[in-house]
């Protein structure tokens, strides 16, 4: 465990075995921390909080920039570690799992220095102060990116953090802790406890010393985390599942829309909350779209361009959905439930056609390399189908009709919309987040919204009883003859 600025053994002797999903070989072990370890980490964070909160934003920015530089220098090691514990192909690990978090950390180094922590409104001052100790619970699908997306804005805001990473990908979290130490962040500002979700994760969510819980993962687990944290009257952010769609209107560049859509689903083996796992196409060009999608699928060879899913349980889950799709009458165009390789947790990239809105594969999040193509007769039908989903993460529309694009932006119930482009890669200053069951806590991450979420407002209103009594040079916030 990395607690209070040093590596220390866990209180217990239990460990978690880390397995490479590509070949099922053991690549490491980490401590399975418990409530005692979480308590140690929270106490260390609370002790460090006053000093870090009082640190000028420019100095906090410099420390985050130093962290970014350490991560950048270790990108190759990060990529190899993610490939070892997540199974993603090394080129993807380099470009997305290593390079993207470095860019995000850099954006928060800039924001830490430029964010308006103090605003003047009339004769009032609004102070945006750090909310306190943050409990961050991160998923396995983007191991380092999700850590940086929670830890960096919290640090920028002046908070101290306790991180509980996913048990499938804890080695990347340990690398991050090493980078924090090398970057010279004060002891206790960042703490790492590895452990199982129902043990360490729950202990962190319910700990009385934690002021805010930020969780990314499945809707079912998020609901439990939210219930525990809310019962303790903590601020809660839950970034949950999705069932996003790619709506292709008549007249759009069909080949480009289909190829971009397939690439969106296949990225990270379909293990992305905002993946466009439904493709909605008008009846006239439906079969052409299916054929184009089938040709695009041929490029994604398991073990080469596409990696495995994260573990045996996830593989069984995805394959059960594929079997359900066949059972309910969807047309299997490419792939199927059979394992494409003898070793590793691989799933055959699977394309379903003739999918109807009532089918399970059209309604529930599969979180694997599975795409469903649905036929829609009108624009209105496509929007209604989209909005009928309980999820509202990201969506896209491909069209040459500017009026339809504008109408879609206004009518669709989703937190992110791409028009003839994928949803932007979350680097820089724009927000990222969903609506409805995809997000709880109104937490749009990245940019100013990301920093703001980890602050709490304090309004200070000042008026001297007699303006004449105020010391010379004091800004009263109103004219002296008022």
Q: How does DSSP classify residue 285?
A: G
Catalytic option among 85, 159, 206, 273:
273
Catalytic option among 85, 239, 365, 372:
239
405: exposed, middle or buried (Cβ count in 10 Å: 0-12, 13-18, 19+): middle
Report how far residue 87's alpha carbon sits from residue 346's, in angstroms, rounded to the nearest whole number.
10
Q: Which residues pair with 352 in a beta bridge?
A: 332, 372
CA dihedral 35, 37, 43, 48 (to 10 degrees): -140
Asked if 334 and 352 count as a contact pair (C-beta separation under 8 A), the reply is no
CA dihedral 329, 330, 334, 338 (to 10 degrees): -50
Q: Strand 350-355's sheet: what is its strand order?
A: 331-334, 350-355, 370-376, 278-282, 245-248, 394-398, 416-419
Asked if 344 and 87 count as a contact pair (C-beta separation under 8 A), the reply is yes
Report how far residue 298's alpha carbon sits from residue 334's, in angstroms, rounded to the nearest whole number.
9
Asked if 359 and 323 count as a contact pair (C-beta separation under 8 A), the reply is no
> Residue 418: how many CB atoms within 10 A of its CB?
19
239 catalytic per annotation: yes
Asked if 110 and 91 count as a contact pair (C-beta separation under 8 A), the reply is no
Query: Would you name the residues annotated as active-site residues?
Result: 239, 273
């Amino acid at each position: 465990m990395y607690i209070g600025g040093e590596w220390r053994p866990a209180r217990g002797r239990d460990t978690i075995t880390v397995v490479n999903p590509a070949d099922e070989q053991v690549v490491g072990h980490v401590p399975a921390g418990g409530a005692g370890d979480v308590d140690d980490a929270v106490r260390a964070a609370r002790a460090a909080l006053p000093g870090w909160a009082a640190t000028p934003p420019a100095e906090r920015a410099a420390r985050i920039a130093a962290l970014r530089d350490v991560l950048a220098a270790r990108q190759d090691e990060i990529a190899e570690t993610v490939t070892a514990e997540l199974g993603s192909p090394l080129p993807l690990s380099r470009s997305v799992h290593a390079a993207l978090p470095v860019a995000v950390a850099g954006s928060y180094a800039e924001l830490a220095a430029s964010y308006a922590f103090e605003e003047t409104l009339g004769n009032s001052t609004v102070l945006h102060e750090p909310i306190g100790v943050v409990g961050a619970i991160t998923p396995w699908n983007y191991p380092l990116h999700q850590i940086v997306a929670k830890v960096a804005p919290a640090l920028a805001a002046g908070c101290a953090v306790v991180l509980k990473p996913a048990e499938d990908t804890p080695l990347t979290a340990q690398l991050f802790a090493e980078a924090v130490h090398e970057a010279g962040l004060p002891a206790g500002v960042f703490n790492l406890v590895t452990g199982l979700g129902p043990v360490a994760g729950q202990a962190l969510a319910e700990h009385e010393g934690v002021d805010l819980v930020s969780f990314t993962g499945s809707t079912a687990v998020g609901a439990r985390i939210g219930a525990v944290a809310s019962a303790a009257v903590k601020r809660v952010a839950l970034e949950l599942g999705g069932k996003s769609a790619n709506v292709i209107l008549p007249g759009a560049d069909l080949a480009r829309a289909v190829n971009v859509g397939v690439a969106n689903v296949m990225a990270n083996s379909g293990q992305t909350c905002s993946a466009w796992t439904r493709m909605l196409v008008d009846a006239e060009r439906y079969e052409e779209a299916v054929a184009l999608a089938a040709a695009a699928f041929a490029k994604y060879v398991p073990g080469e361009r596409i990696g495995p899913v994260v573990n045996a349980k996830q593989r069984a889950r995805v394959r059960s959905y594929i079997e359900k799709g066949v059972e309910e009458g969807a047309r299997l165009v490419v792939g199927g439930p059979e394992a494409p390789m003898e070793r590793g947790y691989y799933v055959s990239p699977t394309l379903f056609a003739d999918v109807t809105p009532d089918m399970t594969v059209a309604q529930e999040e599969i979180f694997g390399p599975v795409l469903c193509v649905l036929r829609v007769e009108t624009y209105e039908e496509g929007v209604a189908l989209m909005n009928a989903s309980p999820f509202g993460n990201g969506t896209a529309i491909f069209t040459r009709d500017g009026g339809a694009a504008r109408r879609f932006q206004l009518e669709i119930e989703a937190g992110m919309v791409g028009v003839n482009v994928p949803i932007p890669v979350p680097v820089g200053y724009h927000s990222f987040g969903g609506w409805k069951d995809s997000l709880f806590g109104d937490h749009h991450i990245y940019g100013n919204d990301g920093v703001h979420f980890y602050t709490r407002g304090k309004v200070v209103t000042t008026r001297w009883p007699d303006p004449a009594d105020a010391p010379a040079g004091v800004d009263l916030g109103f004219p002296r003859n008022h």
